[in-house]
Amino acid sequence: MGSRDGRAAAAPARLLLPLLLLHGPLTGAGAARAPPRTGMTTQVRSSHPPRDEGWWPDIGTYAFDLVDSELPAVRRMAAQGMVASYNFNKALAAKAWAAAASLDPDCAVCHWGVAYAHAPFLNAPILEGKGAKAAYTAAARKAAAVAAAKGLAGPAAGLVAAIVARLDAPRLDAPEAAALYRVKATEAAGRFPNAVDLQVLAAEAVMLEHCDDDGYHFLDAEGNLVPALAQVVAALGALQGAEHPLGLHLLIHATEMLPATTRPGEGAGRGAFAAEKLRERFAELGAGHLQHMPSHVFLRTGRYAEAVAANERAHATNLEFLRHGVDCYGLEHNAAFLAWTAGQGGLREAAVGASEFLYRTYSRAAPSTPNNATVLAQLRVASPLTTFVRFGLWDDVLGWTAALPEGWPYSRALAHFARGLALVHTAPPRPQAAARELDALLKLDVAGPYAAMATMALRGALALATGTDPQTGLGHLRRAVDTLRALPYDEPPTWFMPLAACEGQVRLDAGDAAGAYAAFAEDLQDFPEGPWALHGMAAAMERLPGRFSPEAVAAVRLRAAAAWHGGAAGGAGPPSACPAFAGLAAEAPA
């Protein structure tokens, strides 16, 4: 890749610092339905130093009160184990609980903790692998034996009964195992309503029955919470005052798929309290995934700069883990989240930095996955190019010479798409060269919605740029918008930017202010307070004086400025609603 990491030689100012242990800073210099869980489970790893056996992350004052040992060292390890599990860092959790069990072999809950560390969780809801199954089985049986020998009672006994219940299923990876666990967990929670840990673990058990390898199945066909999840959300909402780390984490996941909104307490905003409490409680502690989780709510509620900050904080924590030789959870997911939210909020340097991090991470992993990479990995490795497109950095697109992995056709499709768009924006435009990029994209013969959106959008841009068939150009773009909006929910969105705002930009340039306004409103329905769409909406409103007053236009411009750079741009907003299509439809009819 060279010292410039594939960037154009003319743009050294945006180069990142050298990577630390492969994984380095995310930002450039100066930048302080059932969702598929691809974003959460695609992990890329490299070698890092041997584990610093004496190091454990700072978890603050959290204590796991159900542990049946009075030894301070055991209780400290129990707390470490539970926070690591809440943080979805199961390997660290298993190590902590094993240490606790070795210090006090007569602690039944310590053996329970080892089993729980190997148990399914939301992002890996099926217990798979011979090693994990064997570890779970041995620890659960040991917990049951110790509990019986000492006559364990109360909520702790309920924990053990639930963890052992899975063993009665024909297979640990069968749905019956999850059902047996849920029955025992909820029974125990019913018997001990004041045991907050038990209530939260029971809620998790219910949620697990609505997860599989295709994602979370929390909503019905109408987009409402299924009855079991509605009950979970009510129960977790009632527990918010306890500020339980896992309870807050689960509440965000249970509500994030609800309609996007800026209103706390409604739709995805029902997780706003949980997001703010997690941010407050874990701001300086060693739990990167819990630090990241508020960004799920912030994205859905139009708080993009806050989402960026959450992921920057989580990334710094993850680097601390790696420095001590401890694996971390969600490293690439956090970077992808940062790239998307920074792009949406106009934080260009942060978006470019995160995108370059993704390129370096996935391209270095490519030799181990030739012709077998996930679609998500292929999309992410092209993140620098798509980020340049989002901000209209056409010289950067055309000057980017980094090699894309062989056998990864989706990343190559995005490269042709980005170069084609750049070529219609050069001075003078080069539509013939852009058409060759479209031909190269088509020759890849890549199926699926992402290549289809790239193809439709580039076809639309070419038709608009040549001025020969502007309505056809709009038609191609509209089909890309519809394809994007039909994708299953995922966070961050798997496509790098909203497209309805691009349709609005085209209609605005074409003189169709009413159509532009409708397109921007559609974009804002999906992504509240997006400054790109707000900027375009204000321009459309200004051209509809019969419908909107100057005061109404000014109010929308203020909202755009507040969302752009998190309000730190001195009242400025974006240059257009969509640089990728701005100016292409100047001659198109309304």
Joined tokens for residue 156 = 């702790």
User: How does pLDDT run across 575-587, given as a tens digit for each residue?
Assistant: 999 999 999 986 4
Give which of 476, 525, 475, 470 is closest to 501, Cα–Cα.
525
User: How does pLDDT run across 17-62, given as a tens digit for each residue?
Assistant: 222 333 344 443 233 233 333 333 344 444 556 777 889 999 999 9
Across 552-574, average pLDDT: 91
- 8-state DSSP, 367: G
User: How does pLDDT run across 311-334, given as a tens digit for each residue?
Assistant: 999 999 999 999 999 999 999 999
From CA 399, how far away is CA 521, in angstroms rounded?
35
From CA 129, how far away is CA 119, in angstroms rounded?
11
Considering the entire predicted model, what is its pTM? 0.91
Give which of 240, 289, 272, 314 is closest to 123, Cα–Cα.
289
User: How does pLDDT run across 61-109, given as a tens digit for each residue?
Assistant: 999 999 999 999 999 999 999 999 999 999 999 999 999 999 999 999 9
What's the chain's average pLDDT?
A: 89
Q: Which domains does the chain have, with CATH numbers?
A: 58-215 (1.25.40), 370-567 (1.25.40.10)
| Surface-to-core class of residue 49, CB atoms within 10 Å of its CB (0-12 exposed, 13-18 middle, 19+ buried) | exposed
User: How does pLDDT run across 9-21, given as a tens digit for each residue?
Assistant: 222 222 222 223 3
* Residue 216, H or E segment: strand 215-216
Question: Which amino acid is located at 310 in the chain?
Answer: A
